[in-house]
Amino acid sequence: MLQDVITALQFLTRLPIRSRIPYTELQFGRSVKFFPLAGGVIGGMLAAAAYGLGLAGGVGIHMQAALLIVLEVMLTGGLHCDGYMDTWDGFMSASSREGTLAIMKDSRVGAYGVMALGLLLLWKYSLLLAILPELLPAALWAAPVIARLAVVAAIVSYPYARSQGLGKPFSQYAGRYTLPTAGVFTAVLLFAAGWQGLVAAVAGLAGAGVFANYAANRLGGLTGDVYGAIIEMTEATALTVFLFH
């Protein structure tokens, strides 16, 4: 089990975690249930940073928001942002399934992807400024956890759209208890986020479900890029809930 947790952390974060055990596709599939724990690590570090920046003197709220966004990108290596850009490049640039998948696989970034990411980061930046300071650590703690549960639900609910790909082992080898186990981890982690965490989870999962269904209908399944887009969009949705108090 520990190796599965390590695999989840190594894939979803850029933390310097090493393992001497060779990776297998089955191990990637088994790690999916621990994605919310990886989200908890990311969220915990963001919450701690928000709390520390709030205590530090001379750091304005605009700089705090910018630093928190930079920190999250550093923690994830921008992996999900890349998938988000590729997804919207494909969806906005082509109408056929084959054309969309081809554009998403292209390593070059198009104008639609750049615009989509710019708008997403602008929205996140605005949210970090608008959320009450006393709620911000809880919001930053909860959003990554909820987003990773959302992608677990997408992985187990829809087939993989390609014959091969980075996300294929997750979809192929995730077990029948993957989603219930991830749900339990999420419930425990969100306990500290209060009622806003529960509402954020409902809103985030609902939005992710709608988008995943749309993507699956268009592509005949999901891809690793869509997984990244689901994470980014769910985080933004969950953070939005914390505007209401």
Range of the domain at 216: 2-241
Mean pLDDT (10-residue bins), the chain, 245 residues? 88 87 78 96 97 81 96 97 96 88 90 96 98 94 98 96 81 85 96 90 98 96 96 98 89
- The stretches of the chain forming alpha helices (DSSP H) are 2-12, 25-31, 35-55, 61-76, 79-93, 97-105, 111-130, 136-157, 168-173, 178-190, 194-219, 224-241
Query: In the chain, pLDDT over 90 holds for what percent of residues?
Result: 75
pLDDT of residue 167: 75
CB atoms within 10 A of CB 154: 28
pLDDT of 23 reads 74
Nearest partner of 83 among 202, 197, 244, 234, judged by Cα:
234
Average pLDDT, the chain: 92
Integer Cα distance of 160 and 180 in angstroms: 20
Return the pLDDT at 57: 67
pTM of the model: 0.95
Total domain count, the chain:
1
